[in-house]
Structure 1
Amino acid sequence: MASSPWGKALRSAAWVAGGTAGAGTAALAYASLIERNLFGVREETVAVLPAGSTPLRVLHLSDIHFVPHQNIKARWLQSLADLEPDLVVNTGDNLSHLEAVPPLLEALKPLMRFPGVYVPGSNDYYGPRLKNPLTYFTGPSKITKDPPALPFGELFGAFEDAGWAGLTNRRDSMTLGGVRLDFSGVDDPHLNRDVYAGFPSADQGSDAPSIRVGVAHAPYQRVLNYFTDGGADLILAGHTHGGQVCVPFYGALVSNCDLPTRLAKGLAVWEHNGRRVPMNVSAGIGTSRFAPVRFACRPEAVLLTLTPRN
């Protein structure tokens, strides 16, 4: 007996549903088991140094979100020391677990012999909680009531002991390769803790030629505008995870702040009041331990080679 049209339609629908479910399962497995561990280094060249300067290599780390026993991530972080950077810039969200500080410091130990600066992110202060991951796509995430506190003092104390300068609503300077780097950093704008301190004045540092570098965890527009209006030559930030779950050939769906999604990762230019400033937003290294997936957005560190302006 011939099959009825309704029977054929139902079988076709079941086949499509089964194929879609299978593809979704495969994509989730790839995102959670494979891509989130495909660590890499994105390399960029930025012409921001004074004429005649020697190039500087800046390693930008962000959003490590470390959890104990992340051995693949730990070994990769240790290997970054082979890049021999002149400076390490850490833009926060180092932790994702109460017991993460000792193993994270062990993973970062080879890098902590280089000069460095850092700013905090919310996941240095507070641990994540389990929640519906779809809320990530409804707008900037919010800190839950009574979030678990993380041992940020232990982490930042170790950074300071290694000589890394904290830029939490502070300005500071250091001279590398004959160039004075004048930094301005803020506490996490995602927590509304940012207080812009300005950049060091030229008469407070050495007589070396200088550039100004703005450093923040979350690249909210108000903070980018502070830095730009203050004369920044370069801005470094993280927080966005590059969108974390992206659409191939399209990009990020969210930035988890008010930054346009087209700027959620990569080297771009921020413009305000007629000034244009190179800005690097890192796609980050980790994820929340309660949403351990990345899709079309591999984890990264960024090696910026600063060269003289043309």
Structure 2
Amino acid sequence: MAGTSNARTALTVLGTVGAVGVGAAVWGIGIERHLYTVRHHELRVLPQGAAPIRVLHLSDAHMAPWQHRKQRWIASLAALHPDVIVNTGDNIGHVDGLDGIRAAFAPFRGIPGLFVHGSNDHVAPAPRNPFKYFLGPSEHIPRAQNMDAAALDAFLTDDLGWTDVNNAAGSLVVKGLRIDAFGVSDAHRDWDRLEDLPPAIDSLGAGADLSWGVTHAPYRRVLDTFTDLGADILFGGHTHGGQVRIPFSPKALVANCDIPLDQARGLSAWTHDARTVPLNVSAGIGHSIYAPVRFGCRPEVSLITLRAR
């Protein structure tokens, strides 16, 4: 009798664990990855008397051509009336994903913007073992299929009018304020050329009201250098917020870079050499087509309202 009872208890436990696992998979794959949300923040960083500036931070769309629901949701964000857009890369998630990006971003035409690249703006994603992310940042896939990065850049610059700050710097005027921005290409692939930034920034001349540092992958070396170069706000993506998180936990399980896990999503503060600046890391809108899941980490954009000090 005791043996039979123990066997029944073990089967009940196994059945419960299995049901929870199936339920979590159904939620993460079938539901949460489509629960797009806008994360709102406020920062008091503008000169006294300045009008508020609404910054829409987009990241990691990983667009595939069949993802029409995602395309419609991104397009609807124009109704938020952002004053400027910061795009931290990984826009394309499939070799034919650019058409989806064109449809999603078309309503932003004429809104000032900045962008940098993630690796998937250049090369297609590939299947990976998700458990390897717990061992450190992912390795590069040799012989990955090339994306049409030139066509993406032509759309973002020529059609939308955005400024390319991949290992470069540029200026925008937004509501009468001059914003200087500098950025790097994907640091996860070691495409960042931080040594190019000081002369690029110097070429802009003095007189900026605000300075932004923009990166796809928020590696410490990049954030530290941006802080040293005088950035007033830092923007990053890449982490997907961990993509799968323990619900309500302040820390991601993984970040796929060396940023502290409690700073892998949302607004926080970055300190280097006694200087502290705001850092916003977007958990992003999408996911690799080979890992179609979000759990405890809804797909998102950030709407950051900058106000006078």
- TM-score category, normalised to shorter length: over 0.9
Distance 2:128 2:299 in 1: 22
Q: Is the 2:112–2:172 contact (alpha carbons within 8 Å) kept by the matching residues of 1?
A: no
Distance 1:105 1:270 in 2: 34
Q: 1:83 aligns with which of 80, 90, 112?
A: 80
Q: 2:264: which partner in 1?
A: 264
Q: 1:304: which partner in 2?
A: 304
Say whether residues 1:93 and 2:90 are aligned partners. Answer: yes
Q: Is the 1:56–1:86 contact (alpha carbons within 8 Å) kept by the matching residues of 2?
A: yes
What's the CA shift for 1:127?
1.0
Distance 1:287 1:154 in 2: 22
| TM norm structure 2 | 0.95
- SS of match in other structure, 1:17: helix
Unaligned runs of 5+ in 1: none
Distance 1:203 1:144 in 2: 37
Q: Is the 1:219–1:238 contact (alpha carbons within 8 Å) kept by the matching residues of 2?
A: yes
Call closer, same or farther: CA 1:15–1:93 in 2, change over 3 Å.
same
Matched pairs, number:
304
Distance 1:304 1:204 in 2: 27
Distance 1:19 1:222 in 2: 45
Q: Is the 1:62–1:92 contact (alpha carbons within 8 Å) kept by the matching residues of 2?
A: yes
Q: 2:10 aligns with which of 2, 13, 16?
A: 13
Distance 1:204 1:132 in 2: 47
Identity of aligned residues (%): 44
What's the CA shift for 1:231?
1.0
Q: Is the 1:66–1:100 contact (alpha carbons within 8 Å) kept by the matching residues of 2?
A: yes
- SS of match in other structure, 2:41: strand
| TM norm structure 1 | 0.95
- Aligned runs of 1:1-310 on 2, under 5 Å? 4-161=1-158, 162-196=160-194, 197-198=197-198, 200-201=201-202, 204=205, 207=207, 210-250=209-249, 251-309=251-309
Q: Is the 2:68–2:100 contact (alpha carbons within 8 Å) kept by the matching residues of 1?
A: no
Distance 1:173 1:216 in 2: 16
Q: Which moved more, 1:190-199 or 1:113-122?
A: 190-199
Distance 1:256 1:177 in 2: 36
Call closer, same or farther: CA 1:203–1:68 in 2, change over 3 Å.
closer
Q: Which moved more, 1:69-78 or 1:132-141?
A: 132-141
Unaligned runs of 5+ in 2: none
- SS of match in other structure, 2:27: helix
- SS of match in other structure, 1:276: strand
Distance 1:294 1:137 in 2: 17
Distance 1:301 1:142 in 2: 27
Distance 2:279 2:255 in 1: 15
Distance 2:232 2:127 in 1: 39
* Cα RMSD after superposing both structures: 1.3
Match of 2:137, as an amino acid?
P
Distance 1:29 1:203 in 2: 51
What's the CA shift for 1:204?
2.0
What's the CA shift for 1:226?
0.6
CA deviation map 1:177-207 (0-9, x unaligned): 12110111101100111112136349726x5
- SS of match in other structure, 2:12: helix
What's the CA shift for 1:123?
1.0
Distance 1:202 1:136 in 2: 40
Distance 1:133 1:86 in 2: 37
Q: Is the 2:171–2:204 contact (alpha carbons within 8 Å) kept by the matching residues of 1?
A: no
CA deviation map 1:116-160 (0-9, x unaligned): 110000111111111222222221111111111111111111101
Call closer, same or farther: CA 1:48–1:26 in 2, change over 3 Å.
same
Distance 2:202 2:172 in 1: 13
Distance 1:113 1:58 in 2: 14
Distance 1:203 1:159 in 2: 21
Q: Which moved more, 1:264-273 or 1:127-136?
A: 127-136
- SS of match in other structure, 1:109: helix
Distance 1:173 1:158 in 2: 19
Call closer, same or farther: CA 1:203–1:297 in 2, change over 3 Å.
closer
Q: Is the 1:112–1:159 contact (alpha carbons within 8 Å) kept by the matching residues of 2?
A: no
